[in-house]
Amino acid sequence: MAKILCVLYDDPVDGMPSSYPRGDLPTIERYPDGQALPTPRAIDFKPGELLGCVSGELGLREYLEGAGHRLVVTSDKDGPDSEFERELVDSDVVISQPFWPGYLTAERIAKARNLKLAITAGIGSDHVDLQAAIDKGITVAEVTYCNSISVAEHVVMMILSLVRNYLPSHEWVLKGGWNIADCAARSYDVEGMHVGTVAAGRIGSAVLRRLKPFDMHLHYFDRHRLPADVEQELGVEWHDSVEDMVRLCDVVTINCPLHPETDNLFDSAMIGRMKRGAYLVNTARGKIVDRDAVAAALESGQLAGYAGDVWFPQPAPRDHPWRTMPNHGMTPHISGTSLSAQARYAAGTREILECFFDGRPIRDEYLIVEGGRLAGTGAHSYSPGDATGGSEEAQRFKADSTA
């Protein structure tokens, strides 16, 4: 018997939904590059239901308990007295989502004497100290591609929302106003603007494809250059450095993983290289940008707007400056946890568990760390090291909520 510890976000404040706006989900046969969707032997949930919260349990309880395993599900993840900390000590498997991450620091990994597998139900395993996982021989896996298109759609929405000044205009309606001049004073067209993505992997490339019909000039930086025919198809220009790209762009979108090479990439110096009045959209990871540099750039006008749904740490403390800085479009980390995405990453999590318990290989594209080294997707997308430092600040959100 194995013990599986699952960290999920809290239930809706009014309880689990009794019904949903839509009765079903569109059928998707394969991902855009041909990769197969998750292929578990079975699922014990209805696609389109809320699975990512505590009561949703990723639809795993019936399967795991039916096989004789023990499942512990909690949202209490931060601080030395948290349920996550207490239950981790003898857990064999830890499952967490990027939206409400159970930070697996080196200190926690050292205490987890039985830990063999850490699964990210979603994409992005930076909440795990990958170097510590490498050193202890722990396997780290994530459900690649499950919510890439979900995030790409969110990026396009946020770009349009910032440039067209959507959120402040909506606020005038809520306040009972009709202040057209106030709304229009910060509203522009995206047509003809230059937009660049930091990384052109599955999310970044999907963003470029969705922006092409808007007649924008497309740019990208990636350490792995796209094939020439893809560049030609998209009409996109490659840059050999982020610094070279951002100076040309009216809009920059960050779509790279967080690891030591990208940690704090957008500091005050990088933001200073951007066009004055540019927009920055970040649905990748909050720690890729300097928190205070972003707030200062919005105050000074160096940035005309900043939007995203990723913070560091997560959840963000109540006094996080991004909650109150001007001209922002921040949301909680929601881009990759639509009901559509949840169905895919819940199924992918079960597929990984089935492989683990059956002694079968986990898909190469799901692997981040295996056998004491970066493996599969991890070898392509990450660098060795740790990006979890500072995550203990997340416990302040809990303290603020109970004060």
**14-39 average pLDDT score:** 95
Residue range 246-282, pLDDT digits in tens: 999 999 999 999 999 999 999 999 999 999 999 999 9
Are 387 and 368 found together in one domain?
yes
Task: Assess whether 356 and 240 both reside in one domain.
Answer: no
Kindly report the average pLDDT of the chain as a whole number: 96
- pLDDT of the residue at 155: 98
Q: Sign of the CA dihedral 61, 47, 160, 204?
A: positive
pLDDT tens by residue, 273-315: 999 999 999 999 999 999 999 999 999 999 999 999 999 999 9
Tell me: do 79 and 32 sit in the same domain: yes
- The reply to whether 153 and 174 lie within a common domain is yes
Give the CATH number for residue 221: 3.40.50.720
Are residues 190 and 317 both part of a single domain? yes
pLDDT for position 399 = 79
Give residue 400's pLDDT: 80
132: pLDDT confidence band, cut at 50, 70 and 90? Answer: very high
Question: Which residues are designated catalytic?
Answer: 147, 285, 314, 333
The 10s digit of each residue's pLDDT in 213-239 is 999 999 999 999 999 999 999 999 999
Are residues 309 and 210 both part of a single domain? yes
139 and 203 together in one domain: no
Same domain membership, residue 131 and residue 82 = yes
- The answer, yes or no, to whether residue 185 has pLDDT greater than 70, is yes
Nearest to 52 by CA among 257, 349, 253, 266: 349
pLDDT, tens digit (0-9, with 9 covering 90-100), for 63-81:
999 999 999 999 999 999 9
What proportion of the chain, given as a percentage, has pLDDT over 70? 100
The mean pLDDT value for 151-155 works out to 98
Domain that holds residue 294: 148-330
Residues 258 and 321 in one domain: yes
Q: What is the pLDDT of residue 403?
A: 60
Residue where one domain finishes, among candidates 330, 347, 362: 330
Do 297 and 283 fall into the same domain? yes
pLDDT level of residue 402 (50, 70, 90 thresholds):
low
Residue 152, token pair as written in the block:
């790409």
Same domain for 197 and 93:
no
Structural domains counted in the chain? 2
Task: Give yes or no: residues 310 and 394 share one domain.
Answer: no
SS (H, E, C) 275-339: CCCEEEEECCCHHHECHHHHHHHHHHCCEEEEEECCCCCCCCCCCCHHHCCCCEEECCCCCCCCH
